[in-house]
Chain A
Amino acid sequence: MDSQPELASKMAMPAVQPSIPVPIQQADGTFSHFALHFNVNMQPSDAQAPPPQPASGNNECLVREQDRLMPIANVIRIMRKILPPHAKISDDSKETIQECVSEFISFVTSEANDRCQREQRKTITAEDILWAMNKLGFDDYIEPLTVYLHRYREIDGGERGPMKAAAEPQAKSFGIDDVYRTGHRLFGPATIAGFVKDSPNAGPSRPVAGFEPYAKCKE
C-alpha cells in the first residue's frame, strides 16, 4: 500500500470527501479501494457534488446546507464574471454572499407571499415576485427580468400545447396560452408598464389588441 499516498497526491482530490470507497488503480494495474473520510466540518468550497448525509441522528435538527444555500460554485462563477481578472475573493466573502442570496430569496418571497394571502391566491407567480422586488426597492431589476421572462415565454409558449384545465387554474400558470385562457392578469409589457408606472423605467402603456409582446426581444 505504499503507492497509495503517491496516487492520492497525483489524483486531483476533491475538496469534498465523501464516505464512499473509491476504486484506485494501482501501479500494477489492479484496483484497490481507498475509503475517504467524511469531514463533518468541511467548508462548501468549489466542489460540484453535494456531500452525503452524516450517519448520526442529528439530521432532523439540521437543515442541510445544500438545501438552504445556492451552490457556492455557481455563486463564485457569477462573482468572477463581474470582477476584474486580477481580483481575488476570500472564502469568507464567498460564503457571506452565498448566505445573502438565500436571504434575498426569502425576503422577496415573504413579501410576495403576503400579497398572495391578501388577495386570497394560493400560488406565488412570477408577477408577484416582480411586484415584491419593486416594492422592496429592487426596481432596477424589473426591466432585465421582464426581458428574460419574455424570452422564456417566446420559446415556451409557442412550443407547449394548451394545458389541461386544472381544478385551480392558477396552479399551472405556465404557458402563455394558459395565461390568456384563465383570464389571469396578463403578464406582458402592458402589465409591467402598469405596475411600474411610477418608476422612471416604465415604458408607454399600449392597448393589448394589435401589439407585439415580443417585438423588443427579437434579435
Chain B
Amino acid sequence: MRQAKTAYSGFLSGGGIPRRHDPHLLPLARIKKIMKKSSVDVKMISREAPLVFSKACELFIEELTKRSWNMTIQGKRRTVHKEDVAHAVATTDVFDFLIDLVHPNTSHHVDLNEDLEKKQ
C-alpha cells in the first residue's frame, strides 16, 4: 500500500498521473482553457477530458513531427522548417483541418506541392 500512497500523493501535488507511471507533458489547466474557447457553448468539462487530451496532444505532436521530419529528409536537410510541417499537413488526410493554419494563402493541395518543389 505504501507504493500506492506514494503514487496518490504524486497525483495530488503533480496534478495528474504519478511520475512512476507517466508524467504529464502538457498542462491540464491550459488544455481546459483551450477546450472552453473552442465553442461559445462549451459548458462543463469532466476532469478526465483534459487528461485524455494531454496524452492525445502528445501523440499528435509526435505524428506531426515524424511526418514533418520525413519531408525534411526528402529535401536532404537536417533542420525541420515550417514548409516541412505544411507539406506533412498537405499530404495527410487527417490533418486537413490544419491546412489554413499552416499555409493560409494556399487553397489547393496541388499548388502547395508545386511551391515546395520550387523552393527545394
User: Which residues in A have some Cβ–Cβ distance to B below 8 Å?
Assistant: 63, 66-71, 74-75, 77-79, 81-83, 86-90, 92-93, 96-97, 99-110, 112-113, 116-117, 122-126, 128-130, 133, 136-138, 140-141, 144-145, 148-149, 151-152, 155-156, 158-159, 170-174
B51–A126 CB distance below 8 A: yes
Residues of A within 8 A of B61 (CB): 75, 78-79, 82, 97, 101
- Selected from B18, B34, B48, the residue in CB contact (under 8 A) with A149 is B48
Chain A residues whose CB sits within 8 angstroms of the CB of B65 once the complex forms = 78-79, 82-83, 97
Whether, in the assembled complex, B102 has its beta carbon less than 8 Å from a beta carbon of chain A, the answer is yes
Q: Are B98 and A100 in contact (CB under 8 A)?
A: yes
1/0 per residue B39-71: CB within 8 Å of A? 101111111110111011111111011101100
Whether A155 contacts B42 by the Cβ 8 Å rule is: no
Q: List 9 A-B contacts (CB under 8 A).
A: A67-B30, A82-B66, A90-B82, A104-B98, A106-B37, A106-B38, A148-B17, A151-B17, A159-B7
Given A87-B72, A152-B17, 12 further pairs, Cβ under 8 A: A63-B37, A67-B30, A68-B34, A74-B27, A78-B61, A82-B61, A106-B37, A144-B59, A145-B52, A149-B52, A155-B8, A170-B44
Residue among B22, B57, B60, B61 having the largest count of chain A Cβ atoms under 10 Å: B61
The 10 closest A-B pairs by CB, nearest first: A126-B48, A106-B38, A137-B94, A109-B38, A88-B79, A123-B44, A92-B82, A159-B8, A78-B61, A125-B46
User: B97–A124 contact, CB under 8 A?
Assistant: no
Are A78 and B25 in contact, with the CB atoms below 8 A?
yes
With a CB–CB cut-off of 8 A, which chain A residues contact B116?
A: none
**Which residues of chain B are near A140, meaning CB under 8 Å?**
59
The chain B residue with its CB closest to the CB of A184 is: B46
A85 to chain B, nearest CB (A): 11
Decide if A138 touches B56 in the complex (CB within 8 Å): yes
Q: Are B48 and A87 in contact (CB under 8 A)?
A: no
A118 → chain B closest CB, angstroms: 12
> B84 touching A93 by the CB < 8 A rule?
yes
Residues of B within 8 A of A (CB): 4, 7-8, 11, 17-18, 21-22, 25-27, 30-31, 33-35, 37-39, 41-49, 51-53, 55-62, 64-66, 68-69, 72, 78-82, 84-86, 89, 93-94, 97-98, 101-102
- With contacts A87-B80, A155-B8, A174-B48 taken as known, whether A105 is within 8 angstroms of B43 at the C-beta atoms is no
Which of A81, A82, A122 meets B43, CB within 8 Å?
A122
